[in-house]
Amino acid sequence: MEFELTPELTDEIIFAMEDQTGRFLFDSAEGRCVAERDRPDAAETSVFDDANDRYYSIPVWDSVSGFRMMDRFTAQLRNPVAREELRVALASGHGVFRSFKNILKGYPEIERMWYLFKEREMRGIVLEWYNGLRDFWGLERIGAEPEETEEIVAQDFLFREATEADSGALAGIRADAVREIAESLPADLAEAVSALSGIVAPPAGTGPGGYVLAVEGLEGDVVAFASSAPYPSGGTRVVLLSVVAVCPEFRGMGIGKELLARTIGYWADRGFRWIVFAAPVVPPTFLPALHRAGFLQKGHVSVLDLSGSPCH
């Protein structure tokens, strides 16, 4: 019996799939899921579990299916810190589901990403099942609605202009970013690059007319910021974007992209023409965001190691 797959029916089928107390079927006459044991009659030879095509077996969902979904989520997660913790939990071999959920509780924003991911995946499974029925009925398949991206999570954050009370938090984020750079360099070179960073990218809020955009997480803590100001000081055409920093555990959520977009909009509305991003060291993962925002590469910082030179 043909039926329309509504959002409400999709939710009911997903709920039945996840109910591990028994096997469920979809009753197309009643428009609801019923336990297999409650089906009044059956013909075992039917393709769809019933000679009158009233009852349809819903997609199978078990612990293996759940594990594979968690693995797919972890593989596509762009946040390096949370991704590694989840990967270790999945590889532990025991208490995987509990460990996975406990880790997510420490990352509220990523936890929401997980539920969005899971909902999209489950709806996709039900839609594919329904399209299989439509094939049987000789009807045209229906497509999925446009997917929400993980970057929707950025909407959970508060973007606001920084205040004096944020100075300590901004300095901490900046220091962590410099330390992250330094860890990949020899000590003496790291010291020089850190000093150069302080010259090219002065502390947030310096300079007249500067604009510092801070980002608050769900807990109210500042987790990212962007600092920019007219350059030279008092100019009206060029802006120096000196810092875009996101705490490691909040990366991969679209925060950096949103910081860029809002900063660009702020200065465009004030008649400025050029924005220069001149941080001496830029994480490779941030370069695509700059490119998508319209920034063009006009140079780079190069380092020559003289220790291997014959003149040394």
- Tell me what pLDDT residue 66 has: 94
Average pLDDT over residues 283-295: 78
Residue-number span of the structural domain to which 298 is assigned: 154-304
Average pLDDT over residues 195-211: 67
Sequence length of the chain is 312
For the chain, how are helix, strand and coil distributed in percent, rounded to 5?
50, 15, 40
Is pLDDT larger for residue 90 or for residue 79? 90
Q: Looking at the domain assignment, is residue 182 inside a domain? A: yes
Give residue-wise pLDDT tens across range 243-257.
888 988 888 888 888
Give residue-wise pLDDT tens across range 58-75.
999 999 999 999 999 999
Q: What percent of the chain has pLDDT over 70?
A: 83
Average pLDDT over residues 9-17: 94
SS3 263: helix
62-76, 199-213, 216-230: the lowest-pLDDT one: 199-213
Q: Looking at the domain assignment, is residue 140 inside a domain? A: no
Q: Looking at the domain assignment, is residue 146 inside a domain? A: no
19-28, 206-215, 250-259: the lowest-pLDDT one: 206-215
Q: What percent of the chain has pLDDT over 90?
A: 38
Q: Which residues make beta-bridge pairs with 244?
A: 226
And the tokens for 291? 């490119």
Q: Looking at the domain assignment, is residue 104 inside a domain? A: no
Average pLDDT over residues 169-197: 81
Give residue-wise pLDDT tens across range 102-120.
999 998 888 988 998 999 9
Q: Where residue 184 falls among pLDDT bands split at 50, 70, 90?
A: confident
Q: Where residue 16 falls among pLDDT bands split at 50, 70, 90?
A: very high
DSSP 13: H
Q: Looking at the domain assignment, is residue 170 inside a domain? A: yes
Q: Say yes or no to pLDDT of 52 above 70.
A: no
Is pLDDT larger for residue 200 or for residue 175? 175
22-36, 77-91, 169-183: the lowest-pLDDT one: 169-183
Q: Where residue 293 falls among pLDDT bands split at 50, 70, 90?
A: confident
d(CA 113, CA 115): 6
d(CA 196, CA 147): 43
- Tell me what pLDDT residue 46 has: 43
Q: Say yes or no to pLDDT of 47 above 50.
A: no
Structurally, the chain folds into a number of domains equal to 1
| Domain CATH for 289 | 3.40.630.30
Query: What mean pLDDT value characterizes the chain?
Result: 83
Q: Which residues of 274-296 are buried (b: 16+ CB within 10 A; e: fewer)?
A: ebebebbbebeebeebbeebebe
SS3 272: coil
Q: Which of 234, 231, 226, 228 is nearest to 208 (CA)?
A: 234
- Tell me what pLDDT residue 54 has: 85
Q: Looking at the domain assignment, is residue 93 inside a domain? A: no
Q: Which of 267, 203, 206, 207 is nearest to 236 (CA)?
A: 267
Q: Quickly list DSSP for 163-220.
A: -GGGHHHHHHHHHHHHHHHHTTS-HHHHHHHHHHHHHHSPPTT-STT-EEEEEE-TTS
62-71, 87-96, 150-159, 264-273: the lowest-pLDDT one: 150-159
Q: Looking at the domain assignment, is residue 234 inside a domain? A: yes
Q: Looking at the domain assignment, is residue 194 inside a domain? A: yes
